[in-house]
Amino acid sequence: MPENRRQRRPRVRRPSRSPRPAPEAPATDGPVIELEIERVAHGGVFVAHHEGRVVFVADAIPGERVAARVSDQGRERFWRAETVAVLDASPDRREHVWAEASVDRAPELRAGGAEFGHIRMPRQRALKGEVLREALSRMAGLEADVHVEPVESGFAPGVSLDDGTGWRTRMRLHVDADGRVGPYAARSHTIVPVASLPLAAPELEALAPLDERFAGASAIDLVAPSAGDPAVVVVEGDRRPNGARATIEERVGERTFRLDRDGFWQVHRGAAATLTRAVQDLIDGELFDPRAANHDLYGGVGLLAAAVGDRFGETLRITTVESDARATEHAGANLSEWIGARAVTARVDRYLDELAAGAGAAERARLRDATFVLDPPRAGAGRAVVERLAALRPRQLVYVACDPVAFARDVGLFRERGYELDELRAFDMFPNTHHIEAVARLRAIV
């Protein structure tokens, strides 16, 4: 059952995969121009040209002709614009799955978080594949055949594959100065009252207090764990709560993971099971040594380390590394059945420095025989971590990525240091948004 909706708690800051500065609200008085939409760009917008200038356009589809209001003319190289009318529609355009995000609304009143909701699902996946393919070509020098797969229905009961709705098991709504609840408007931190939450899991949408007022609160968190009841949590302030923190359980197949309710967990109902299967499948068994110094970097509460353990058995040796101490504590408990598993609280770059500095000849050999799984935040692993990993020279890497550009950059860095992309899969774990998840295997070239 939901918690007391009037209860006030210190605000819980969730671990973020994409910390960004607050965007500006779209301008309401810019000029309206006609544009031919050419292609998709990273970030959920589309590319057009006007009098020789690049224009990034929201709420469009390649091949369409639209009228768009320019919302940012302050840049020399490009403008931003919001579609206000569709003059020649794509056959892939549909009625938006979220009425409050539709192009029929004024841009400043459109709910954010469903920027592809006006596009039919097969085209959404094709567009996401284009973004990943282009990023790999431009940043890693690779021409990859990218097919974006939906999450298997067996992993995500209640989720509509046709509409891309009902998949979010976590959602944060915001509270304005008058106590009204709603999401941020698209590309803005303006709060928009709404009457529906179609991307939310049905049990969360049913509980969401969209017509209530919460004076003094800063946010409303909706959480639907796979084990136990959904919760509505009222939060306020800038500090974590004192004392014991609420924990939940998530089930993936036959396995149960304990974590903090405000800790990181995959948002899509079927994402954890999908990633478990993908990581298991992409590890090359002929290259895998269960007694080597195997690692799960950015390991969270141990989901992917457990995936490796479930494939390779009780003799597995694996270390999961995570900077969040509470997540590491949970990982230690979640992985306790493997005697050779340990959980370390550390920043990944610093941990790799200490690992390299303290490794003798025998341990360096175990590291060279190892498999490293890494699931970095949206910014990717980055040059420092790539350099440290490549210097250790593990046999294979399995990289889980939630940002195509950061992933492509890191693949390019690994290629420069003697690793090649062996296999790549991509999953639509964020339907009706521009986000995509990729899982890849990189192999050290001898």
Determine the 3-state secondary structure of 207 from DSSP: helix
* Token representation of residue 144: 């990859």
Residue 400 C-beta-side C-alpha neighbours within 13 Å: 30
Alpha-carbon dihedral 146, 152, 157, 163, rounded to 10 degrees:
40
Annotated binding site for S-adenosyl-L-methionine: 266, 298, 322, 375
Residue count of the chain: 446
3-class state of residue 441 by DSSP: strand
Assign 3-state DSSP to the chain and report helix, strand, coil percentages, each to 5. Answer: 25, 30, 45
Q: How far apart are CA 316 and CA 292, in angstroms?
A: 8
Q: What is the DSSP string of 170-200?
A: EEEEEE-TTSBEEPBBTTS--B---S--TTB
User: Reduced to 3 states, what is the DSSP secondary structure of residue 42?
Assistant: coil
Across-strand partners of 252?
Answer: 255
Q: Please tell me the predicted confidence (pLDDT) of residue 77.
A: 84
pLDDT on residue 25 = 52
Q: What span, in angstroms and rounded, lies between the C-alpha atoms of 125 and 155?
A: 19
* Beta-bridge partners for 349: none
291 CB-side CA count, 13 A? 1
C-alpha to C-alpha distance for 35 and 50, rounded to whole angstroms: 7
- Cα→Cα distances 71→29, 116, 185, 204, Å: 8, 19, 14, 34
402 is catalytic: yes
CB 127 within 8 A of CB 47: no
Distances (CA, A) of 38 to 3, 31, 60, 65, 267: 48, 20, 10, 9, 31
* 217 and 236 Cβ atoms separated by less than 8 Å: yes
Q: Read off the tokens for 265.
A: 């967990």
Report residue 137 CA to chain centroid gap: 22
The helices-and-strands tally (H runs, E runs) of the chain is: 9, 20
| Amino acid in the structure at residue 427 | F
Give binding residues as ranges: 266, 298, 322, 375
Is the domain spanning 32-105 CATH 1.10.3720.10? The answer is no
Domain boundaries 128-155+251-444, corresponding CATH code: 3.40.50.150
Q: Which of 86, 402, 408, 439 is catalytic?
A: 402
Residue ranges in the chain modelled with pLDDT below 70: 1-28, 74-75, 237-244
Q: Which residues pair with 294 in a beta bridge?
A: 318
What is residue 264's DSSP assignment? -
How far is it, in rounded angstroms, from Cα 328 to Cα 334? 10
Which long-range contacts (C-beta less than 8 Å, at least 24 apart) are formed by 14-23?
A: 14/172, 14/221, 14/262, 14/263, 14/264, 15/263, 15/264, 15/324, 16/377, 17/264, 17/377, 17/378, 17/402, 18/377, 18/378, 18/379, 18/403, 22/189, 23/187, 23/188, 23/189
CB 395 within 8 A of CB 287: yes
Look-up: residue for tokens 């090649």?
A: 420
Residue 74: alpha-carbon gap to chain centroid: 30
Contact status, residue 166 vs residue 198, Cβ threshold 8 Å: yes
Q: Give me the residue spans of the domains in the chain.
A: 32-105, 128-155+251-444
Backbone torsions φ then ψ of 406, nearest 5 degrees: -60, -40
Q: Token digits for 57?
A: 């356009």
